[in-house]
Amino acid sequence: MVVGSGGREHALAWAIRRSPRVERLWIAPGNAGTASVGENVDIMATDLAALVDFARRHRVDLTVIGPEAPLMAGIVDRFRDANRLCYGPTAAAARLEGSKAFAKEFMQRHRVPTAAFATFDDAARARAFARSLGAPVVIKADGLAAGKGVVIANDLDEADRAIDSMLLDHRFGEAGSRVVVEEFLRGEEVSVHAMCAGEQALVLPSSQDHKRAYDNDRGPNTGGMGAIAPVPWVDSQALQHVEHEIIRPVLAGMAADGTPFTGTLYAGLMWTADGPKVLEFNTRFGDPETQALMPLLVHGNDVCTLFEKAAAGEVPTGLVIPAMSAVAIVVASKGYPESAERDVEIRGLDHVDDARTMVFHAGTRCVDARVVTAGGRVLGVTAWSESLTDAARHAYAAAEKIHIDGAFYRSDIGRRHLT
Ligand code: AMP
Ligand code: GLY
C-alpha cells in the first residue's frame, strides 16, 4: 500500500507495481492516476488508525508512506506496534524534517556541514545575532510552515521584520514560536535522496527541484514546479562525498542518539565553494523529485524489493543506475500557488503515447469517465532518455498535448544544464 495522493505517490505506486512480486496494490487515498496502477482506498493519509486497521484486515505486506504529516504523527510507530512492515522513519526520526531547530542542533553536534546559525525564542536576541552575521541573512520558522517559513532577508530591516512577525506577531503560530537565524549560503542547490535502514544507506541519483512558480526562477515559491535527475555535474565522486560527509554521519548520529533512521533521508544541499552544506532535511521522498527519480530506478531494480528490504532493516547493495536522465514538468492549476482552480477538465491524456514518457497525476480525480483537476499541482509530465536534452524535448512534447483551461507550466525545467 502506498499512502498519499500526489504525484510522488503515483510515481512510487507505478514503480512498485512493476515488480513481479506485487500481487495487489492499494493507494490511500490516491488520485485518478493511481487508480490505473492499483486500487484506491478512501482513507486520508493522516487517518492513522484507519490505515493500520486496513493494513491488518487486508494483510498488507508492505506499506510505503509518501507525505510528511503521517510520519510526524507516528504512522511508522503505529504500524510497528501492529507488526506490519512500513517504510518510513519513526516520529522521533522524522524530527529531522519536523523541527529546523532540532535538525540544526543535531548537525552541529554531529559535525554535519551546514550554515552557521543560532536558535531563538527572544526577538531582541535574534535581531542581535542577525546583525552579527550581516545581510543577507536567513530567518526560518522552527516548525512546518507549508514552505513559507523561510525568509531570505536582503537587509537587516527585513530580517527584523521577519523575526518580529514570527516571534511577536505569531505569523506561523506554534511553528514560528522559535526561529533559526542562519548564514546565507551561495551556490547551486542539489538534492540527494538516500534509502536508509539504521546505518546503511543506498544513495540515489542526485536531483534538482525548481521551486519558483515562473520561468527563470521568478514568482512565488511553490512545492516544486519541475525536477531533473540526475544533476549533470554531480558525478559519482561528488555523490560519494555527500554520502561520506553528510548521509553517513547523519545515520550514525541518529543511531547514537537512540533514534535510528529508517526510510528516505532527503538532503537539500547548497553546493558552496567549500563543498555541499545542508539547507534542510526531509524524511521522505521529494515531490516532484520522485517523479524524475522513479523512472531511473525502475531500469534494472525491483523497486518494491528495495522498499521491503529497507523497511525490514537491511538496505540492499548494488543499485543499478542507468545512464539516463529524467525530466518532470509540473502542470499547475490557474492561480497556483495562492489558490487553485478545481474541477477543470483535463483533456489529451490519451494522446501521450511515448514509451519513454509517463504522465504522473497529482491533483486529479475522476468524475464519471472524465478526469478533472483537484489541486494546485495537477500533473507531472515526465520523460527519460539517454540525454537530459532529449528527455526535456520528450517531456515538453507530451505536455503540449495536454489541455487544461488556465493551467500553466514552466518552460525552462533543466534548461540551465542544456547546451
Ligand atoms: P528550506 O525550507 O530550509 O530548504 O529553505 C527553502 C529555500 O530557501 C531553500 O531551498 C533555499 O533556496 C533557500 N535557503 C534556505 N536556507 C538558505 C541559506 N542558509 N542560504 C541561502 N539560501 C537558503
Ligand atoms: N520538492 C521539495 C519537497 O518535496 O520538499
Among all bound ligands, the one having the nearest atom to the CA of 285 is 2
Report phi then psi at 18, rounded to 5: -70, -10
How many angstroms separate the alpha carbon of residue 279 from the centre of ligand 1? 6
Sequence spans of domains, the chain: 2-93, 116-183
How many angstroms separate the alpha carbon of residue 190 from the centre of ligand 1? 11
The closest of 218, 294, 320 to 6, measured between CA atoms, is: 294
Sign of CA dihedral 175, 181, 186, 187: negative
Give Cβ neighbours of residue 283 (< 8 Å, ≥ 6 apart).
68, 71, 88, 89, 93, 94, 96, 97, 98, 261, 263, 264, 265, 266
Sign of CA dihedral 64, 297, 390, 32: negative
Q: Tell me the CATH number of domain 2-93, given options 3.40.50.970, 3.40.50.20, 3.30.70.20, 3.40.50.2300.
A: 3.40.50.20
Pocket test for ligand 1, best of 142, 279, 282, 283 (most atoms within 8 A of CB): 279
Give Cβ neighbours of residue 132 (< 8 Å, ≥ 6 apart).
none
Average pLDDT across each block of 10 residues of the chain; the chain has 419 residues. List them in order: 98 98 98 98 98 98 98 98 98 95 95 96 96 96 77 95 91 82 97 97 97 95 96 97 98 98 98 97 98 97 97 92 97 95 96 94 95 97 98 98 98 92
Query: According to the model, what pLDDT value does residue 328 have?
Result: 98
Query: According to the model, what pLDDT value does residue 155 have?
Result: 96
Which atom of ligand 1 is nearest the CA belonging to 268? 4
Query: According to the model, what pLDDT value does residue 213 have?
Result: 97
Among all bound ligands, the one having the nearest atom to the CA of 224 is 2
Gap between the terminal Cα atoms of the chain: 41
Pocket test for ligand 2, best of 282, 293, 360 (most atoms within 8 A of CB): 282
Query: According to the model, what pLDDT value does residue 336 have?
Result: 96
Output 413-418 pairs: Cβ under 8 A, ≥24 positions apart.
Answer: 413/210, 413/225, 413/226, 413/227, 413/228, 413/327, 413/328, 413/329, 414/208, 414/226, 414/228, 414/327, 414/388, 417/228, 417/231, 417/232, 417/233, 417/388, 418/388, 418/389, 418/392
**Bond preceding residue 29 cis, omega within 30 of 0:** yes
Give 274: exposed, middle or buried? Use CB within 10 Å, 0-12, 13-18, 19+: exposed
Query: According to the model, what pLDDT value does residue 326 have?
Result: 98
C-alpha cell recorded at residue 345: 477538465
Measured CA to CA, the distance from residue 369 to residue 78 in angstroms comes to 37
Could you give the C-alpha distances from 316 to 141, 198, 212, 225, 307, in angstroms and in order? 37, 13, 36, 32, 9
Query: According to the model, what pLDDT value does residue 146 have?
Result: 66
For residue 213, the SS3 value is strand
Query: According to the model, what pLDDT value does residue 51 have?
Result: 98
Locus of grid cell 514552466: 410
If phi over 0 gives left and psi between -120 and 50 gives alpha, with beta otherwise, what is residue 171? alpha
CA 291 to chain CA centroid, nearest Å: 10
Query: According to the model, what pLDDT value does residue 169 have?
Result: 86
C-alpha cell recorded at residue 118: 543560532
Residue count (the chain): 419
- Regarding the beta carbon of 113 and ligand 1, being less than 6 Å apart is answered no
- Regarding the beta carbon of 287 and ligand 2, being less than 6 Å apart is answered yes
- Regarding the beta carbon of 97 and ligand 1, being less than 6 Å apart is answered no
Measured CA to CA, the distance from residue 209 to residue 269 in angstroms comes to 11
Which atom of ligand 2 is nearest the CA belonging to 286? 4
User: How many other C-beta atoms lie within 10 A of the C-beta of residue 206?
Assistant: 25
Query: According to the model, what pLDDT value does residue 375 have?
Result: 95
Whether the CB-CB separation of 101 and 180 falls below 8 Å is answered with yes
How many angstroms separate the alpha carbon of residue 286 from the centre of ligand 2? 4
Measured CA to CA, the distance from residue 283 to residue 264 in angstroms comes to 6
**Alpha helix ranges (H) inside 66-192:** 68-72, 75-81, 95-98, 100-109, 123-133, 156-167
Query: According to the model, what pLDDT value does residue 205 have?
Result: 98
Class level of CATH domain 116-183 = alpha beta
Helix axes 7-17, 289-297, angle to 10 degrees: 10
C-alpha cell recorded at residue 54: 486496513
Element (H, E) at 67: none
Measured CA to CA, the distance from residue 123 to residue 269 in angstroms comes to 28
